[in-house]
Structure 1
Amino acid sequence: MLIQHFQMLSRYNYLANCRLYDVCSLLSDVELKQTRPAFFKSIYVTLNHIMIGDRIWMGRFTGKEMSSQGLDAILYDKFEELRAARVLEDERITTFIDNLDDDFLKGIITYKNNQGKIYSDPVNLLLAHFFNHQTHHRGQIHDMLTETEITPPSLDMHRVISS
């Protein structure tokens, strides 16, 4: 059951990102990068942050931990490059989650966070955090979109998955 739950979250992640990027593509570069009252200060930096987080966690899940360039780094200067990378990352996430097994879910991952502190946590908790992190920051972007003339998309899970 837990594997199916994570597969549902993976599908939601993919579809929610598609909706969000479709709407963000309607904004100008200036609007995307405009400083706003949010933790990562703009829609664009927050989109990049989600990608950074996804890559860090996917590296931990696959045993190929990567060093962080900083949680507010800009990985791609152009929106369309970021969007293309997002599609590839979501495909990678989906493939990984589609191939989960019970042994992996019962495991523990030891990793070093961005401050250099070592943690050991259960995989099932880390996967839940992984998807929650994405949802949390998509919510921040959704809020920033309300400050534009673009209507934010519905990101309610039961509406996104069933449409």
Structure 2
Amino acid sequence: MSAPVDHLRLMTRNNAYANERLYEACCRLSQDAFEAERTNFFPSILETLNHNWEVDRYYLDALTGAGQGLSVFDVPFLKTADVLGTAQAEVDRQLIAFCDALAAEDLSKQVPQDRGRNGIFHETIANTLLHLFQHQVHHRGQVHAMLAGTSVAPPQLDEFFLEFDRHPAAHKYL
């Protein structure tokens, strides 16, 4: 196997692990706290997590050539942390399966991405995956900060790669 493919496989597993840990914390919030307006890019934990789920679905659609394009956004927001967590876990499983099937030569393949009135843009599979992971980290960090303003402590999300520091929940992804 190639080092870049191995890296992306680890990143997709880290992504699933971090999402699982974050949703475990969010599921301990009351519905009011989950929906409460907070200072951030998106005004609530609910809206931020829905955004992550939608964007993951959008990029997974592009990566797999499923052909839904922007229509993946034509669904109502999911309303609870439990329902959102289940939906995110399913997308995470699909993303792991996609990365597990990658070969080194796939990374440079171009995938079309529908950008609405701006047209169709083509990006490599590698860059699309790197962007998806960065996007998740970015918004998970925002949810982490919003959790700090609640009664639920934000979870540690970076205990994945280093063996001496690995959280027990990470083992099932490795």
Normalising to structure 2: TM-score of the pair? 0.84
Task: Give 1:110 deviation, angstroms.
Answer: 2.3
Q: Which residue number corresponds to residue 55 of structure 1?
A: 57
- The residue correspondences of 1:88-99 to structure 2 (distance < 5 A) are 88-99=90-101
For structure 1, list consecutive stretches of 5 or more residues without a partner in the other structure. none
Q: Secondary structure at the match of 2:79?
A: coil
The amino acid across from 1:135 in the alignment is: V
Normalising to structure 1: TM-score of the pair? 0.90
CA deviations on 1:86-137 (whole Å, 9 max, x unpaired) are: 2211111111111111221121122222554332222211110011111111
Partners of 1:114 and 1:31 in 2: how far apart? Answer: 34
Q: Secondary structure at the match of 1:7?
A: helix
Question: Structure 1 residues 11-20 or 61-70, which shifts more?
Answer: 61-70
Task: Give 1:28 deviation, angstroms.
Answer: 0.4
Partners of 1:96 and 1:56 in 2: how far apart? Answer: 14
Residues 4 and 43 of structure 1: CA distance in aligned 2, closer, same or farther (over 3 Å): same
Q: Secondary structure at the match of 1:160?
A: coil
Equivalent pairs counted in the alignment come to 161
Q: Secondary structure at the match of 1:68?
A: helix
Q: Which residue number corresponds to residue 108 of structure 2?
A: 106
What is the RMSD of the two structures over their aligned residues, measured on CA atoms?
Answer: 2.0
CA deviations on 1:129-151 (whole Å, 9 max, x unpaired) are: 01111111101100111111211
Contact conserved, 2:147 with 2:153, CA < 8 A, in 1?
Answer: yes
Contact conserved, 1:45 with 1:74, CA < 8 A, in 2?
Answer: no
Structure 1: 4+ residue segments shifted above 4 A: none
For structure 2, list consecutive stretches of 5 or more residues without a partner in the other structure. 168-174
The amino acid across from 1:102 in the alignment is: A
Q: Secondary structure at the match of 2:41?
A: coil
